[in-house]
Structure 1
Amino acid sequence: MNGNEAIEWIHQQLKFGIKPGLDRVQQLLEYLGHPEKGLKLIHIGGTNGKGSTVTYLRNLLQRHGFKTGTFTSPYIERFEERISINGHPIDPQRLASYVEQVKPICEKISQTELGAPTEFEVITVISLMHFQEERVDFGIMEVGLGGRLDSTNVITPILSMITSIGKDHTNILGNTIEEISYEKAGIIKTGIPVITNVHQKEALGVIESKAKLHNASLYQLNIDYNYQVNNYIDWGESFDFLSKDMCLHNLELSMKGKHQIENATLALYGLILISKKEKFKLLDEEIRKGLLQSQWPGRLEVIRDQPKIILDGAHNVEAMTQLVTAIKSQWESNRVTVLLSVVKNKPIDQMLDILEQNFQKIYLTPFDFSTSYEYNELYKNFQKTHTYVQEDWETVIDQFIEKDSTENILIVTGSLYFVSQVRAYVLQHK
């Protein structure tokens, strides 16, 4: 089996859908001798900001000399990046060797009442196998969906982190902030400290109750750590980090948006707690370098300068609001064109309303994905005052590059899968 065949087999497990629950993963790990045991893992959940927080924390740990594994989703350029060590995606042949081990076990489990493991369950287990074989110092596991019943929740981490909570995947997680918070707070473990950036009072109440129930120390933004935004810089952010353990001034990020400052402060406070537990010294200069060098494709990422094209996978209402705030802080609204595509389980009406209130030219388009809208559905239901339904997103890109002046900006947003396809098209063909 080669790397492509391994990925094809993994993707075939999609036919088993999303099946919340931990039994199949635990059975897989049992057959494999529990590769998760002995690993020092950090578990990161939340609605928005998980991927960015992972990359900040990974770079901070790396700058302090630690070999650090990451498990993230979805991927932007290639499947293998979902399982990486020190930022380097797993080798395709190595991935194939893990699939050869896991495949017969999956077939055996599929014959039981548990049913076949899903794609996400399989790659969760493979990431743990890889971290164990590579003897990482730390592994960072990003929750896929929710938390309580997510396949990553089989681990016992040294630290749990909850980035933010918003209304996303409501068909699975619930319709209220309290219901969604209950699922997200499901990653809290007995005696394991938890940090959160969550703002909403109703969400914090759920998290505080869960932490108290499990005797888990809880650390919160605006109570245990905070930040102060500094003066405007051309691109990126500058801020001061404030806590009783450490204060650092004029930290810089290469990623744009106040929400990135919040993600960075969460990661930095996580580093502080890890350093206390693992007894290593924090180095100011390495913290500065780790934050500044952190990049996360598809999050306010500039992929072309003249004319400027920016990608941001804002796939829910909260993320779209953050995107609009970041863009309007940098450019006048009349310079901005938006290209949007979302999948069917997202609140497209609310997302379009946010864009319509702020920008005058929005293109809505389908894309090549199993749960994307068809062109006719979009044309019939979502054409609005400033929104134009376009059948072919490549045409929007091509025309923008050919006709628009260097003063204007194209924002490509919505599904991360869509952003990934646009990214590949622009970088390869333009």
Structure 2
Amino acid sequence: MNGNEAIEWIHQQLKFGIRPGLDRVHQLLERLEHPEKELKLIHVGGTNGKGSTVTYLRNLLQRHGFKVGTFTSPYIERFEERISINGYPIDQKQLASYVEQVKPICEQLSDTELGAPTEFEIITVISLMHFKKENVDFGIMEVGLGGRLDSTNVITPILSLITSIGMDHTNILGDTIEEISYEKAGIIKQEIPIVTNVYQREALDVIESKAKRKNAPLYQLRNDYNYQVNNYSGWGESFDFLSEDKCLHNLELSMKGNHQIENATLALFALMLISNKEKFKLIDEEIKKGLFQSQWPGRLEVVHDQPKIILDGAHNYEAMTQMVSAIKSQWPPDKVTILLSVIKNKPIDEMVNYLKQNFPKITLTPFDFSTSYEYNELYQNFQKSHTRVIKDWQTVIEQFIENESNDNILIVTGSLYFVSQVRAYVLQHK
């Protein structure tokens, strides 16, 4: 089996859909002699900011000399990046070798009452196999969906993080903040420290209650660590990090948005807890370098200059408010054009209305994905509100590059799958 065949087989398991539960993953790991039990793992859950937080923490640990594995989703450029070590995606030959080990076990399980493992369950297990084989110092596991029943929740980490909580995947996780928080708090383990950026009182009540029941030390933004935003002239952010044990001034990020400061402070406080537990010394200069060198594709990412095209995978309402705040801090609304595409089960009416309150030029488009809205659906739903709907997003990109002046910008946003396709197209045609 080669790498492409391995990826094709993994994708074929999508037919088994999303089936929350941990039994199939436990069975896979047991038959593979539990690779997860020999690893120091950090678990990262939440609604928005997981990917960026993983990137900050990975770079911070790496700058201190550690070998760090990361398991993230979805991918932006290629499938293999979901399982990476020190930022380098898994080699296709390695991936194929793991698939050859896992495939017969999956076939055995498909004949039991548990049924066949899903795609996400399989790649969760492969990531743990890879981290063990490559002898990483730390592995950072990003929750795929929810937390309590997510396949990554089979691990016992040394530390758990919850980034932020918002209304997303409500058809699966529940339609209130309390219900969603219950699922996210499901990653809290007995006596394992938990750090969170969550600010809503109703969400914190759920997290605090679960942490108390599990006797898990809980650390919160604004209670145990905080930040002060500084003026910054470049594309990015500058801030001071504040905690009882450590204060760092004029830290710089190359990613834009106040939410990125919150993600970075979460990662930095997590690093402090890890250094205390693992007994290694923090180096201020390496912290500064680790934060500044952190990049996460598709998050307020500039992919074209003159005129500017910026990509941001704001795939839910909360993420969209963060994006709008960051853009308006940099440009006047009349200079901004929004190109939006979202998948079904997202609050598209709410998202479009919010964008229209902030920017005069909004264009909706379908894209090549199984759950994307069709052109006719978008046209029928939004023609009354005089929202522009275009069949072919490539035409929007080309016309913007050819016709717009250099002081105008195009923001491409919505589904990360859409952003990924646009990113490949723009970079290929640059």
Please give the range of the TM-score, normalised by the shorter of the 2 chains: over 0.9
- Secondary structure of 1:73's aligned partner: coil
| Cα separation, 2, equivalents of 1:148 and 1:382 | 37
Contact 1:360/1:386 (8 A) holds in 2: no
| Cα separation, 1, equivalents of 2:339 and 2:20 | 33
- Secondary structure of 2:228's aligned partner: strand
| Cα separation, 1, equivalents of 2:390 and 2:276 | 54
Which residue of structure 1 aligns with residue 421 of structure 2? 421
Which residue of structure 1 aligns with residue 331 of structure 2? 331
| Structure 2 portions without partners, runs of 5+ | none
Which residue of structure 2 aligns with residue 31 of structure 1? 31
| Cα separation, 2, equivalents of 1:82 and 1:369 | 19
TM-score (normalizing by structure 1): 0.99
Which residue of structure 1 aligns with residue 86 of structure 2? 86
- Secondary structure of 2:58's aligned partner: helix
Deviations 1:71-109 (A, max 9, x none): 000000000000000000000111011001100000000
Which residue of structure 1 aligns with residue 365 of structure 2? 365
Structure 1 residue 384, shift from structure 2 partner: 5.5
| Cα separation, 2, equivalents of 1:304 and 1:160 | 37
Amino acid at match of 1:325: S
Amino acid at match of 1:111: D
Which residue of structure 2 aligns with residue 277 of structure 1? 277
Which residue of structure 1 aligns with residue 48 of structure 2? 48
Which residue of structure 1 aligns with residue 253 of structure 2? 253
| Cα separation, 1, equivalents of 2:360 and 2:128 | 47
- Identity fraction in percent: 83
- CA RMSD in angstroms comes to 0.7
Displacement over 4 Å in runs of 4+? none
Which residue of structure 2 aligns with residue 175 of structure 1? 175
Deviations 1:215-234 (A, max 9, x none): 00000000000000001322
Structure 1 residue 385, shift from structure 2 partner: 4.2
Deviations 1:111-136 (A, max 9, x none): 00001100000000000000000000
Distance 1:227 1:315, change over 3 A: same
Deviations 1:266-313 (A, max 9, x none): 000000000000000000000000000000000000001111000000
| Cα separation, 2, equivalents of 1:366 and 1:233 | 36
Is 1:61–2:55 an aligned residue pair? no
Range with bigger deviation, 386-395 or 268-277 = 386-395
- Secondary structure of 2:36's aligned partner: coil
Deviations 1:311-362 (A, max 9, x none): 0000000000000000000000000000000000111011101100011111
Structure 1 residue 383, shift from structure 2 partner: 3.2
Matched residues, number: 430
Distance 1:288 1:155, change over 3 A: same
Which residue of structure 2 aligns with residue 101 of structure 1? 101
| Cα separation, 2, equivalents of 1:233 and 1:250 | 13
- Secondary structure of 1:141's aligned partner: strand
| Cα separation, 2, equivalents of 1:314 and 1:2 | 35
Amino acid at match of 2:121: E
Contact 1:356/1:386 (8 A) holds in 2: no
| Cα separation, 2, equivalents of 1:380 and 1:223 | 48
Which residue of structure 2 aligns with residue 343 of structure 1? 343
Structure 1 residue 386, shift from structure 2 partner: 5.7
Which residue of structure 2 aligns with residue 207 of structure 1? 207
| Cα separation, 1, equivalents of 2:386 and 2:274 | 48
Contact 1:362/1:386 (8 A) holds in 2: no
- Secondary structure of 1:412's aligned partner: strand
Which residue of structure 2 aligns with residue 130 of structure 1? 130
- Secondary structure of 2:262's aligned partner: helix
| Cα separation, 1, equivalents of 2:232 and 2:284 | 23
| Cα separation, 1, equivalents of 2:228 and 2:372 | 40
Amino acid at match of 2:335: R
- Secondary structure of 2:358's aligned partner: coil
Which residue of structure 1 aligns with residue 221 of structure 2? 221
| Cα separation, 1, equivalents of 2:234 and 2:294 | 17
TM-score (normalizing by structure 2): 0.99
